[in-house]
A and B are shown apart, each in its own frame.
Chain A
Amino acid sequence: MGTYFSDIIRGLWSLLIGLSITFKEFFKPVVTVPYPFKTIKMTERYRGHVELIENDEGKPKCVACGMCQRACPSGCISLASKSVSYEVEVKGEMKTKKKKVLTKYDLDFTTCSLCGQCVESCNFQALTFSKEYNLASSRKEDFHFDLLNRLKERNS
């Protein structure tokens, strides 16, 4: 009989301890952010979807070698290029040379797993991660990014 009552008292006491802990939490500062009105700045290394980097002339650094396309595990990068001939002065002589110019760089973000293999595989430092995370949409097409277009928009 004695243990019966002591069990009840000890049990009640354990509940009171719990209540005192939760009561103290009332006076602690709020840790959450009211999201649509306030947002948190992303850290330096945050990995959003990939983005092209421009060179000094405002053109993409990309030389369309296709390494990122091959490294991608889910095959979400597709790019196209055309070869352009240009003239360059070598030892006082004018010579025509050819180089590849990027014409299309599409990213299908629906299948991207943000692993960073494309950024790592790039030998020309032409790719980076964006800091974008407000990407909610109800349409699938909104996640097919034309990165070349995005670069132009950023420059203008």
Chain B
Amino acid sequence: MSGPIHIQPGETFTLNVGPQHPATHGVLRVKMEMDGEYIVKAETVLGYIHRMHELMGENRTYPQVLPNLSRLDYLGALGYTHGHVLVIERAAGIEVPERAEYIRAITVELNRIASHLFWFGAFVMDLGGFTPLMYAIEDREYILDILEAVTGSRLTYCYYRFGGLYNDVDDDFISATRAFIPRMRKQLKKYDALVTGNIIFRKRLDGIGIIPAEMCRKYGATGPVSRGAGIDFDVRKNEPYSVYSEFDFDTPVYHECDSLARYKVRMDEMEQSLRIIEQGLDKLPDGPIMPKKKPKLIKPPKGDYYQAVETARGSFGIRLVSDGSKNAYRFKLRSPTYSNMSLFDEACEGMLIMDALAMMGSLDLVIPEIDR
């Protein structure tokens, strides 16, 4: 073919965003039917990094699945492993010592802040601002160092065990976390002045990328996406698990439904997570981190078990069907990003492509978690 392509008035063309595209943060492909710069129809194509984690959960023994869960969402891995150990503990009837539960809550919240920080940097980078990413990664580095000293890894943690933890935290962890809280509060104020007030940032997000509450309910969107649409739902508050009922924290909710509301929810959530960490460190009891009586071979009795946890991206649920053997009969993972992303096709119709990509950034997609 030679010469330029002339598009007739009213004619649409197809644009492929991805599978390798900086705005999709992974291997997600969006087929967009475009009318000039306006999106007529969009279709997300999944499955580029499907790894069959659910099937692996069915043909491996229960402890062997432990490392898999942190490979779902590499930014907020601890939340997912937390859900996994909780459902097995519920099924097998293992009691968890209180100290272990508190340490779990503290480390999960630290991980949530790390995840939100990285999202914050990447989201602003999607909109064209590079500098905040550097600041966010510097702060995230503090959290990763704290967690590395305890768990031994930086990203794909395998720290929780059925009944407790891999190893106990030391005084260094407590003093480092205590020092981190005021530092992070200061940094959050800095981000607020640097990014939230920025006129260019606001013009790209304010009133743009509307995801109403009905759409959230229709697709099952949870987490900051639904809280940005005015739905006051947080698994930590509504169905408290672990020791979350003993903490005093708020669920940030905004009613604007736009991309800016979702941004604000996440920024406020970091502050709430800091509050939980502070209370957790104050209340941290002494004691063992593993139960005295622990079955050597984990064989949950026959039954159907479900446990939902609030991860950085929303409500993550595991359904476990046990047939009494040492493998699970069914191991279903309900990942929050999958539902959050499903509404993208409908929400972006009629939008400008740059607004749609800003909205995609505000959904906080982690593709390995969608494909599992």
Residues of chain A at the chain B interface (Cβ within 8 Å): 10-12, 14-15, 17-18, 21-22, 25, 31, 43-47, 71-73, 113-117, 120, 129
Contact = CB atoms under 8 A, between A and B. Distances in A.
Interface stretch (B189-197, B268-276, B342-350): B189-197
B199 A116 contact: no
B199 A73 contact: no
B131 to A, nearest CB: 6
What class of interface size applies to chain B in its complex with A?
20 to 34
18 contacts: A12-B199, A14-B199, A17-B197, A18-B193, A18-B198, A25-B135, A31-B141, A43-B149, A43-B152, A45-B149, A45-B152, A47-B152, A73-B64, A73-B65, A113-B158, A115-B158, A117-B63, A129-B152
A154 to B, nearest CB: 21
Contacts of B66: 73, 115, 117
Interface string B192-229: 01110111100000000000000000000000000000
Given A45-B152, A113-B158, A15 B67 contact: no
Contacts of A11: 199
B64 A117 contact: yes
Contact of B166 (A12, A14, A46, A116): A116
Contact of B151 (A15, A17, A44, A45): A45
Given A31-B138, A114-B158, A116-B158, A46 B64 contact: no
B64 A15 contact: no
A22 B55 CA distance: 48
B133 interface: no
Interface residues of chain B: helix, strand, loop or mixed (majority): helix
Contacts of A46: 148, 152
Interface of B: 60, 63-68, 71, 131, 135, 138, 141, 148-153, 156, 158, 161, 166-167, 190, 193-195, 197-200
A20 to B, nearest CB: 9
A117 B166 CA distance: 10
Contacts of A31: 138, 141
A39 B161 CA distance: 32
Contacts of B148: 43, 45-46
Nearest to A43: B149
Given A21-B193, A31-B141, A71 B153 contact: no
A47 B63 CA distance: 18
